[in-house]
Structure 1
Amino acid sequence: MSRSSTLLACLVVPTLLAATACTATKSGSDSGGDSSGPVKIGLVTKTDTNPYFVKLRESAKAHAGTQNAEVIAVAGKFDGDNEGQVAAIENLVQQGVKGILITPSNSTGILGALKQAKEKGVLVIALDTETDPKDAVDATYATNNVTAGELQGKYVKATLGQTPPKLLLMDGTPGGTVDEQRHRGFLQGMGLKDGAPEILGAAPTNGDQNKAQAAMENLLQRDASVNAVYTLNEPAARGAVAALTAKGLAGKVAVGSIDGGCQGVADVKAGKYLATVMQFPKKMAEQGVDAVVAFSKDGTKPSGFQDTGAQLITDKPLPGLDSKDTAWGAQNCWG
């Protein structure tokens, strides 16, 4: 088997443990920044099944193909798999990547691996999720997740009008940066604080539809007087709505979400939930790839937080809130 075939075999192995066991001997002419071959870019996402990260991966690979670059994509086994992401980073460094683009499952759980990668001259860029501290990476390309949560919260609050909220929270992964930021932003938009009596209950969903449905079913068994629901992302929203529908509460509860995927926009159009906040992972991926390619050419490093935007999508606009309808959403979903 040729070296390139060996590397390909390594990349298609479905588990991180298998992927990290695959290494290939590299000649000096096959380094990540050598002009004789494509620039190697590592991409580490939280999972490889969530549609959002699928889009991020597809966009990065497609754009790299236009920039004389190739993306080696790996992922955690689940949202919160810090050990898997650490193993992926170490393996990518061994493969000679020039830069690593990463969506950290836990902003602090991978700091040691990121530091080692940077010490070996690898450009490290966070996509979608900030690290803590922020300077653990060279730059971040992401949605302002506090803003995204706040947009959802403001819309749900405006929908309720003068009706006091009876709120359930479909949270993400405990300790996750994005999860905390969106949760905090939503409550700010609602004008509430953690522990407020208006909050009937909360549960982690890990951004997973099945877990969200089970969590919502459990919460509804305790109290079905809910009139508003926060959801971390659109898979969580679909799970929550399925549980509400089974309980006869569909259309009676103000549900918002965040992601802005094409399926999510279609869900809003169909009335499954009232609004979603669109993110732009394609932009994140393309800008990240461009940054690594530029670094490989002349050593230019990006820095700081680059806000890739957030847009409220709904077919029921409300005064004082900037929004786009689902027709616009369908044209721009995950652009």
Structure 2
Amino acid sequence: MRISAIVIAGAALTLGLAACGSDGGASGDVKIGMSVSTLNNPYFVQLRDGAQAEASRLGVQLTVTDAQNDASQQVNQVQNFTSQAMKAIIINPVDSDAAAPAVKAADRSSIPVVAADRGINGAEVTQTVASDNVSGGKQAAQELAKQLGGKGVVVVLQGTPGTSASRDRGQGFADGIKAYPGIQVVAKQPADFDRAKGLDVMTNLLQSHPNITGVFAENDEMALGAIKALGGKAGSQVKVVGFDGTPDGLKAVEAGTMAATVAQQPRLLGQQALDAAVRAAKGEGVDKTVAVPVKVATKENAAQFQTS
């Protein structure tokens, strides 16, 4: 009888431990898929790193894919996540319009989708977590106007057409610069958020508008390309304002070749997107939108953004 009692007690203890293990390991059963627009951009590497760090902290399985700035490739990646029955999907869209059908397919399979850094047009997502890009664009306009003393000739390097980030930053800048009638915007041209394209586009713009005194680039990569094209003019004759607050961008600000950058918090964006995806996967409520604040980084305060 004593042996039977011990066996029964042991079995009960084993069941209890199994139950505890099941509850404690519930997060480990949560599989999240994340499609990033491109990992060829330091900003999105930080976005991914933030998501991965949060996944490790929460003990969930995160699969990250690189869409390589190819909208059709990204659609395939999201469709694969859906067929693999991921518990939630995070998408940092290459194209806010092109991503919609894949998002709708995930929704039909009852898989929550979180949009990170850029919104989705024409499809419902569980949450959009992004920087306040319109506000950032306005801040960029105000800072460039301040650097130019309220007058000058400006060009805008636009991001990838079809992305909400480019649209919102451009709109914010256009609204903000209206307050400065002494500043003339003579050209707007896409350079697809790419440093090499930023160099090429800026080189061409300098030929058609040699009197440029200011540049607003909708991300730091394009700003850095523009600075290379400007050579010795960057920081002295021509003021360049970027957007993102990447490590290279902040170094350029500290060096004086870039006048300022609107600093985002990509790691925090990735972390919050992953956190929302896990909560949605577990059936918990999440806010429809989360706007992560941005702040202008200048030579005076750039150091404080280097570790963010």
Query: TM-score when scaled to structure 1?
Result: 0.80
In structure 1, C-alpha distance between the alignment counterparts of 2:45 and 2:30, rounded to whole Å: 21
Cα deviation for residue 36 of structure 1 reads 8.2
Are positions 1:252 and 2:243 aligned together? no
Q: Which residue of 2 aligns with 1:136?
A: 124
Other-structure match for 2:57: 66
**Cα–Cα, structure 1 residues 116 and 73, in superposed 2: closer, same or farther, change >3 Å?**
same
Map of 2:284 onto structure 1: 300
Q: In the alignment, what sits opposite 1:233?
A: 219
Structure 2 contact 36–67 (Cα < 8 Å) conserved: yes
1:290 pairs with 2:275 = yes
2:191 to 180, 205, 220: 205
Deviation, 1:331, is 3.6
Is the aligned partner of 1:327 residue 2:303? yes
Partner of 2:157: 170
2:66 to 67, 70, 75: 75
Aligned counterparts of 2:286 and 2:236: Cα–Cα separation in 1: 46
When the two structures are aligned, how many residues end up with a matched partner?
283
What secondary structure does 1:307 align onto?
strand
2:296 paired residue number = 312
What is the percentage of aligned positions where both structures have the same residue? 30
- Please, which of 257, 271, 276 is the counterpart of residue 261 of structure 2? 276
Match of 1:185 in 2: 172
Larger Rg belongs to: 2
Checking the alignment, whether the CA contact within 8 Å between 1:123 and 1:301 is kept in structure 2 is no
Whether 1:51 aligns to 2:42 is yes
Matched to 1:144, the amino acid is: D
Structure 2 contact 82–105 (Cα < 8 Å) conserved: no
What's 2:138 paired with?
A: 150
Q: What is the deviation of 1:243?
A: 0.4
1:106 correspondence with 2:95: yes
Structure 1 residues 287 and 156: alpha-carbon distance in aligned structure 2, compared to 1, 3 A threshold: same
Give distance in 2, aligned partners of 1:77 and 1:43. 13
Counterpart CA distance in 1 for 2:27 and 2:73 is 32
Instruction: Report what 1:28 is aligned to.
Output: none
* Kept in 1: contact 2:155–2:185 (CA 8 A): yes
Verify the 8 A CA contact 1:104 1:110 in the aligned structure 2. yes
Cα deviations by residue, 1:38-90 (Å, 9 ceiling, x for unpaired): 41111111112111111111121121011111211112222xx2211110100
Q: Per-residue CA shift, 1:120-145, capped at 9, x if unaligned?
A: 12110111011224x62111111011
Q: Which is bigger in relative contact order (C-alpha 8 A, separation at least 6)?
A: 2
Structure 1: segments with no counterpart, 5+ residues: 1-33, 317-324
Query: Residues 159, 128 of structure 1: CA spacing in aligned structure 2 closer, same or farther, 3 A cutoff?
Result: same
In structure 1, distance between residues paired with 2:170 and 2:64: 29
What is the CA-CA distance between 1:263 and the residue it aligns to? 2.0
| Structure 1: distance between partners of 2:54 and 2:27 | 19
- Given that 2:127 and 2:276 are in contact with CA atoms closer than 8 Å, whether structure 1 keeps it comes out as no
Contact 1:260 1:276 (8 Å CA) reproduced: yes
Partner of 1:15: none
Q: CA deviation at 1:249?
A: 5.2
**SS of equivalent residue, structure 1 residue 206:** coil
Q: Quick one: distance in 1 between partners of 2:28 and 2:134?
A: 40
Correspondent of 1:116 among 96, 99, 105: 105
1:224 to 206, 210, 218: 210
Alignment of structure 1 residues 81-96 onto 2, 5 Å: 81-96=70-85
Secondary structure in 2 matching 1:136: coil
Query: 2:43, 2:119 → 1: CA distance?
Result: 17
The alpha-carbon distance between structure 1 residues 53 and 315, as it changes in their structure 2 partners (threshold 3 A), is same
- Give the letter aligned to residue 77 of structure 1: Q
CA distance 1:90–1:104, change in 2 (3 Å): same
Distance in 2 separating the partners of 1:206 and 1:36: 37
Q: Which residue of 1 aligns with 2:21?
A: none
Larger proportion of helix = 2
Query: Deviation of residue 230 (structure 1)?
Result: 0.7
Match of 2:86 in 1: 97
Q: Is the 8 A contact 1:64 1:289 kept in 2?
A: yes
Where 1:65 maps in the other structure, the secondary structure is helix
Seen in structure 2, the aligned counterparts of structure 1 residues 301 and 124 have a Cα distance that, compared at 3 Å, is farther
Partner of 2:251: 266
Q: Secondary structure at the match of 1:166?
A: strand
**1:157–1:189 Cα contact (<8 Å) kept:** no
Output the amino acid matched with 1:82.
A
